[in-house]
Structure 1
Amino acid sequence: MSFKNPQLAPLEVNPATDEPFLRIEGFDDIIITPPRWDDAPRFMPYLNDPRVYQWMQGPPVPYLLSDARKWLGHIRSLSDNVLADLEAARDTPELITVGDCPVSMIRKVNEDGSELQIGAIDIVRCCRWGEVVKSPEDPDIYVVDLTRKVENAKINYERDVGDPEIIWEFGDYLAPAFHGRGIMTAAVKTIMKKWALPRMNTRIVRAVTFSGNIGSKKVFLKNGFRHIITLPDHTIVRGETKTLDVYQWELAQSEEGSAAL
């Protein structure tokens, strides 16, 4: 077993596996870990459950093992790159700023020490909603400008690590058996407070939900996000036209949002 790399702070390390993790605030038995290669078949059933996928835009239905492995490869690469950067900076006195969050899989720790993957939470650069911009006439109002969508997404993706102007976006899901317990609200708070703000210099975060998704709305409002715009009939998901609600958290403009964390 290796000594804990100080650059992992505030991550804890599992003494048996050397795997870093974040403990979700308020839940002694719920943690967030890096994705594991054997996770793919475990989260497939969740993304084939209508109680989960009805509120999600991306996953195809049915969700196949090949889809799970493709997504897992993507998020594993993000996690592995951050962990490699942290290891390379092991002897650096100050904590470095990194470009992603290395933990994303939500797991319940059972009494016997085994772990059950029950969901996921990702915070990534927002590259899908470049059309949502501040109004030229009133910066407190957001409008849709499709002419700048691709350019804005490209600019956001290419900003340097630690740039406070990067717009981040949350994506998440939770196994239906664990809905209604406040786990996701606490998970968002934990990721924001313990990693995104101090280790990524995150200052702007968005969350986009289907209108009618009351559960997700509450998760983000409880964490200091504010509703900035509704996008009527904005996208087609599995043959249905969907209206979207966009929520945003800004450290620089939201004393209430900052206090919520």
Structure 2
Amino acid sequence: MPKPAFDSPEYQHALATCVRWDPEREEPYLQLPSFPDLRLTPFRAGIEDEYVTLFNHKSIGQRLYTLPWPMDRTYVDEWVAGTQPLMRASVAQLVDALAAPLPDTASAAATTPLAARADAHIASFPFKTLRSVSTGKVVGDYHMAPMTESQGVHPDMPDKRASDITPADMLALAPEAQVWQMGYVLDPAYSGRGITTEAVACVLAGWVVPWMKVGKMCAWIEYNNPASAAILMRNGFEFVADEPAVEKTGRWRFSGFYARTLRADARDGVPRASADWRAKREEAVKVAAVGLAEMEKEGKSRPI
């Protein structure tokens, strides 16, 4: 069966109702509508070796400007151990926010979307791992966190400089005033199929809008990663600014800053995209290509 048009009511409904419950594992998941074998789940114990493999793919590892690369098992052990309690807390919040009881059978779970109460607001993201249902293999990872940089003075925190805003500060704000950031990686063997485009759409339409209810989502994309930029723009993000990212070694990464407003009443300190943002993005891509070539020639940045 052909995939419905991205903007069709049928497809948008499938995205908005993609949160499901697995009664066997007692955990929620996001079901990708066009990929029945793929779902986003919380972190699970025993995935450490698979994460080492995933993040050490060259096409992924070289873009980890804040995470270690190569990534070793010790780092992943600590990462998983530190993140699992957050996943469990987020799942507990989800259960408390349900508009109806959990489905208690596998058949009911497969066909019953989970819905949040109208007053629900969950300031967390439990769907960390993209995995294959049939094999159990980890094929991707998704990250989300409160944004504490790349914005001007927040209207709800007028006395704080952007550089002084902490995650706790952001989480203390009303949902419509919160700004979050996201990132994602996909096993190269699965690329080129539209998987990440749909997964991001599921995350936004199925989870962020109805459950988190935050005002804005942002992301940074390197200019020499056009596929990832296309994923964001397909999902309604706009290019806001040319913003080099500084990696752990202190070197610059030529990147752009993208944002999507998720609520009509959103308020934040993030600059607004200009009317000609697409043209400005194209110009920034060209300038970055020249700059990257010069830096590589001088040995100041590794090629990607």
State percent identity of aligned pairs.
22
C-alpha separation between the residues in 1 aligned to 2:167 and 2:26? Answer: 36
Q: Secondary structure at the match of 2:181?
A: strand
The residue type paired with residue 262 of structure 2 is L
SS in 1 for 2:123: coil
Q: Is the CA contact (8 Å cut-off) linking 2:18 and 2:32 kept in structure 1?
A: no
2:130 is equivalent to residue 106 of structure 1? yes
Pairs aligned (count):
229
The CA distance in 2 between the partners of 1:154 and 1:18, in whole Å, is 29
Determine the structure 2 residue equivalent to 1:258.
none
Name the residue aligned to 1:141.
none
| 1:149 and 2:168 matched | no
Aligned equivalent of 2:223 = 211
Q: Secondary structure at the match of 1:115?
A: coil
- Larger proportion of strand: 1
Alpha-carbon deviation of 1:30? 0.8
What residue in structure 1 maps to residue 57 of structure 2? 49
Equivalent in 198, 201, 210 of residue 213 of structure 2:
201
Q: Output the amino acid matched with 1:205.
A: M
Give the TM-score of the pair, scaled to structure 2: 0.67
Work out whether residues 246 and 252 of structure 2, in 8 Å CA contact, stay in contact via their aligned partners in 1. Answer: yes
1:20 to 18, 28, 45: 28
Unaligned ranges ≥5, structure 2: 1-16, 102-115, 266-304
- The aligned residue for residue 125 of structure 1 is 146
8 Å contact 1:125–1:156 — kept in the other structure?
no
* Letter of the 2:163 counterpart: V
Residue among 229, 241, 246 paired with 1:235? 246
> Which residue matches 2:107?
none
Q: How many angstroms apart in 1 are the aligned matches of 2:32 and 2:141?
A: 12
Distance in 2 between residues matched to 1:211 and 1:166, nearest whole Å: 26
Identify unmatched segments of 5+ residues in structure 1: 1-8, 137-146, 255-261
What does residue 198 of structure 2 align with? Answer: 186
Partner in structure 1 of residue 175 of structure 2: 163
Give, as a single letter, the amino acid of the residue that structure 1 aligns with 2:233: L
Of structures 1 and 2, the larger Rg is shown by: 2
Whether the 8 Å contact between 2:121 and 2:212 is mirrored in structure 1 is yes
Counterpart contact for 1:108–1:118, Cα < 8 Å? yes
CA distance in 1, matches of 2:99, 2:224: 49
Partners of 1:208 and 1:194 lie apart in 2 by: 22
